[in-house]
């Protein structure tokens, strides 16, 4: 599977390279992106509208897909989303607390956390609202996150037998109303104890080798690879083990998907909390070198086996997946050469397939068409472009 999907140009290079040279080639490919000297970027015709004023505080720094030219998203080009304030943490008094249903509560300064074992993970973080509104189509980015594994910390705190959920609490807060009662609440999200204990989870203090930027959660955030953005709590302040399910706003009242499903010929509305990431892809940019066009995109949300591209109403064509940079939870960059397209307007759609045989759903698929809320919009993305 792996071998048959190596792009042909790479395969030719591999077979003619000496073993020693192969290692050097690998590391040079590791910096590659499907770019050609002197190419120009052809902008999409269907540009997203600007972020509305009412959401401009929450959603910031959305990238322009046409600007995507690296596997890792630089920190200054990484989007940020916050639902309350964006707290500036006073490091003189900050410490992470681990408490609740634990036998040994912990209190750790940033230095304590940095002194613990270090682990890094490259993870593509997407907001589950991405493509849910016309103005948010690029709330996704790929970064190398560094921190300390979460599981040993929970083990040290000795979770009691009754503990079933782990709540991650941010320093940001706002006023919420529950049955006419107003209460100030911190941003918080939970996971089952088993999910929290996943070896993938880290408490991250670095992003792409720099201290975590303030908009992305300085000094510390949860990085939960394989989960939508919402689970990756920023400005982390407290980790609390609870005996009963957590029902906070961003767990149980918002970031909830309402979908109608057929049951014995009737439609039944089912609400689920947004959690694990879903298989997705999108065309990112079209480049041009004379009459040679190339479509480049990204695919993420699951281990990507295959990406196909459709131009107008034509056949689905396999894209070449760049395997030079691979990480379990990171997006794959793909490309398709498009030689001498006819002048005029064209539509470009991509669809991703994972190694389990799942396919990114079409927009008409009931799983998307019968979804009533905007979260988890992982339907196939179509972009429009003018040639010539
Ligand atoms: N404390 C806190 N963490 C948070 C949020 C928030 O509002 N407060 N927003 C979440 C959402 S909705 C997303 S999509 C991701 C975005 O991460 P980023 O801002 O680093 O891109 O952070 C998540 N973590
Ligand atoms: Mo989000």
Mean pLDDT per 10-residue run, the chain (388 residues)? 40 43 47 84 97 95 96 97 97 97 98 98 98 97 98 98 98 96 97 98 98 98 98 98 97 97 95 98 97 97 98 98 92 96 98 97 97 98 96
> Does the pTM exceed 0.75?
yes
Decide: 86 in ligand 1 pocket, CB within 6 A.
Answer: no
Q: Give 268's strand partners.
A: 261
Sheet holding 106-108, edge to edge: 106-108, 96-100, 236-242, 165-178, 181-192
- Which of 143, 171, 188, 232 to mutate for ligand 1's pocket (most ligand atoms within 8 Å of CB)? 232
Q: Give 207's strand partners.
A: 145, 210
For residues 151 and 358, give the distance between their C-alpha atoms in angstroms, rounded to a whole number.
Answer: 30
In ligand 1, the atom with minimum distance to the C-alpha of 228 is 14
pLDDT given at position 32: 60
Minimum CA distance residue for ligand 1 atom 21 = 80
Decide: 293 in ligand 1 pocket, CB within 6 A.
Answer: no
pLDDT given at position 265: 95
Q: Is 89 exposed, middle or buried (0-12, 13-18, 19+ CB in 10 A)?
A: middle
CA 10 / ligand 2 centre spacing (Å): 37
Domain annotation for the chain: domains and CATH numbers: 8-33+63-245 (3.90.420.10)
Minimum CA distance residue for ligand 1 atom 6 = 82
């Amino acid at each position: 599977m792996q071998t048959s999907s190596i792009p042909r140009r790479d395969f030719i290079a591999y077979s003619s390279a000496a073993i020693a040279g192969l290692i050097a080639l690998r590391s040079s490919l590791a910096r590659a992106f499907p770019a050609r000297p002197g190419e120009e970027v052809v902008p999409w015709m269907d540009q997203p509208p600007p972020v509305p004023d009412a959401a401009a505080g929450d959603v910031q720094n959305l990238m322009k897909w046409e600007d995507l030219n690296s596997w890792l998203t630089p920190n200054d080009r990484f989007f940020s989303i916050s639902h309350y304030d964006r707290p500036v943490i006073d490091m003189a008094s900050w410490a992470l607390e681990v408490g609740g249903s634990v036998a040994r509560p912990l209190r750790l300064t940033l230095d304590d956390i940095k002194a613990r074992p270090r682990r890094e993970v490259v993870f593509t973080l997407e907001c589950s609202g991405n493509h849910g509104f016309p103005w948010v189509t690029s709330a996704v980015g790929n970064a190398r996150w560094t921190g300390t594994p979460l599981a040993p910390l929970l083990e040290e705190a000795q979770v009691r037998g009754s503990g079933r959920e782990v709540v991650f609490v941010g320093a940001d807060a706002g006023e919420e109303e529950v049955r006419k009662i107003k209460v100030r609440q911190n941003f918080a999200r939970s996971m089952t104890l088993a999910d929290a204990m996943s070896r993938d989870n880290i408490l991250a203090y670095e992003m792409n080798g720099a201290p975590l930027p303030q908009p992305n959660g300085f000094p510390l955030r949860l990085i939960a690879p394989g989960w939508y953005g919402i689970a990756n709590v920023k400005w982390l302040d407290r980790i609390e083990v609870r005996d009963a399910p957590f029902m906070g706003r961003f767990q149980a009242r918002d970031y909830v998907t309402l979908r109608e499903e057929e049951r014995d010929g009737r439609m039944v509305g089912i609400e689920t909390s947004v959690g694990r990431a879903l298989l997705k892809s999108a065309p990112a940019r079209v480049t041009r070198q004379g009459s040679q066009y190339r479509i480049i995109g990204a695919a993420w949300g699951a281990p990507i086996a295959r990406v196909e591209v459709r131009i107008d109403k034509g056949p689905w064509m396999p894209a070449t997946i760049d395997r030079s940079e691979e990480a379990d939870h990171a997006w794959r960059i793909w490309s398709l050469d498009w030689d001498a397209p006819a002048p005029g307007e064209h539509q470009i759609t991509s669809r991703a397939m994972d190694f389990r045989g799942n396919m990114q759903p079409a927009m008409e698929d009931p799983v998307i068409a019968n979804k009533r809320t905007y979260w988890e919009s992982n339907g196939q993305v179509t972009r429009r472009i003018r040639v010539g």
